[in-house]
């Protein structure tokens, strides 16, 4: 089982995907028709929130569709690798139109897709488990081939079980699922990514923005991956970057 130290170590990873699913977009949600000052300021990092913007790689959406994770999360592209990006201050007009159109299709488009667990504060032991059980994907997934045990599945990606909202086929992402259990208790190696993702998702979901003094263990490793493996040097996963 993961000890507290592992949790702390993982905090830095700060899963973007999970964040995108959960966070309320700041710029977009301003439902008020005309706030006197429509501040054109890019992703303000509200103090405390580490601006670990994961970069998108959009090429054909101009980052003005929900396909773009940046746009979907209500943030401007910043440091992304996108092509023809309009999700920036220089294209504020187009961006606003896109937001409007998106909201017209789905008024909840920029709201969290995951209904947070009713109550935080669990006993330390299985808080990950609790979060995992209680949260629900508002729309549910519609997976057909992933068994909802890969990150293709939004439920799995958010580290939550599939719910009655889901219309997935051959779902294995439910409590008591052997396959799912195998991911966490399996023979080590291959499932490392999932363990790490799950652990991290649980972390960000549980304490992500609730303010938990960060204890950076290490900055960027190998320049890229901001991952920090929970098993550190003892990891058996061949792809582990540390």
Partner DNA sequence: GAGTTTGAAACT
Partner DNA sequence: CAGTTTCAAACTC
Note whether 204 binds DNA by CB under 7 A: no
Alpha-carbon distances, residue 170 vs 38, 77, 198 (angstroms): 47, 36, 21
Distance of CA 193 to the CA centre of its chain: 15
Residues of span 8-37 touching Zn ion by CB under 5 A: none
Note whether 215 binds DNA by CB under 7 A: no
Instruction: Indicate which single residue of 10, 28, 135, 162 sits in contact with Zn ion (rule: CB under 5 A).
Output: 162
Within 10 Å of residue 130's Cβ, how many Cβ atoms?
18
Alpha-carbon distances, residue 66 vs 46, 59, 76 (angstroms): 23, 13, 13
- Spatial contact of 143 and 152, defined as CB atoms under 8 Å apart: yes
Question: Which one of 26-34, 44-52, 67-75, 116-124 is the stretch in contact with DNA (CB under 7 A)?
Answer: 67-75
Question: Which one of 113-121, 162-170, 202-210, 231-239 is the stretch in contact with Zn ion (CB under 5 A)?
Answer: 162-170
- Spatial contact of 175 and 161, defined as CB atoms under 8 Å apart: yes
String of DSSP letters for 201-220: HHHHHHHSSS--------S-
Question: Which one of 39-47, 105-113, 144-152, 224-232 is the stretch in contact with Zn ion (CB under 5 A)?
Answer: 144-152
Tokens of 209: 């923005």
Residues of span 137-176 touching DNA by CB under 7 A: 139, 141-146, 148, 150-154, 157
- Spatial contact of 168 and 154, defined as CB atoms under 8 Å apart: no
CB of 143 to DNA, least distance (A): 3
Instruction: Indicate which single residue of 32, 105, 119, 238 sits in contact with DNA (rule: CB under 7 A).
Output: 105
Can you tell me whether residue 115 is helix, strand or coil?
A: strand
CB of 169 to DNA, least distance (A): 8
Note whether 60 binds DNA by CB under 7 A: yes
CB of 153 to Zn ion, least distance (A): 3
Q: Please say whether the dihedral angle defined by the alpha carbons of residues 201, 87, 81 and 148, taken in this order, is positive or negative.
A: positive
CB of 97 to Zn ion, least distance (A): 16
Note whether 72 binds Zn ion by CB under 5 A: no
CB of 123 to DNA, least distance (A): 30
Instruction: Indicate which single residue of 10, 20, 28, 58 sits in contact with Zn ion (rule: CB under 5 A).
Output: 58
Distance of CA 168 to the CA centre of its chain: 20
Name the residues that contact Zn ion, by CB under 5 A. 56, 58, 63, 68, 70, 77, 80, 82, 85, 87, 141, 143, 148, 153, 155, 162, 166, 168, 171, 173
């Amino acid at each position: 089982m993961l000890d507290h130290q592992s949790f702390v170590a993982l905090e830095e990873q700060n899963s973007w995907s999970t964040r995108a699913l959960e966070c309320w977009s700041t710029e977009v949600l301003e439902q008020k028709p005309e706030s006197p000052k429509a501040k054109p300021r890019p992703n303000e990092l509200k103090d405390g929130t580490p601006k670990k913007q994961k970069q998108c790689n959009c090429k054909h959406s101009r980052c003005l569709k929900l396909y773009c994770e940046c746009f979907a999360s209500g943030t401007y592209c910043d440091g992304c690798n996108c092509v023809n990006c309009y999700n920036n201050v220089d294209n504020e007009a187009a961006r606003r139109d896109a937001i409007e159109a998106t909201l017209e299709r789905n008024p909840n488009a920029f709201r969290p897709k995951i209904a947070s667990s009713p109550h935080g504060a669990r006993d330390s032991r299985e808080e990950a488990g609790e979060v995992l059980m209680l949260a629900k994907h508002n729309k549910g997934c519609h997976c057909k081939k992933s068994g909802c045990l890969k990150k293709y599945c939004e439920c799995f990606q958010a580290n939550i079980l599939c719910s009655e909202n889901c219309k997935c086929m051959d779902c294995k992402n439910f409590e008591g699922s052997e396959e799912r259990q195998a991911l966490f208790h399996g023979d080590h190696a291959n499932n490392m990514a999932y363990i790490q993702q799950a652990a991290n998702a649980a972390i960000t979901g549980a304490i992500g923005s609730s303010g938990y003094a960060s204890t950076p263990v290490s900055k960027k490793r190998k320049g890229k991956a901001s991952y920090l493996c929970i098993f550190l040097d003892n990891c058996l996963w061949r792809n582990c970057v540390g």
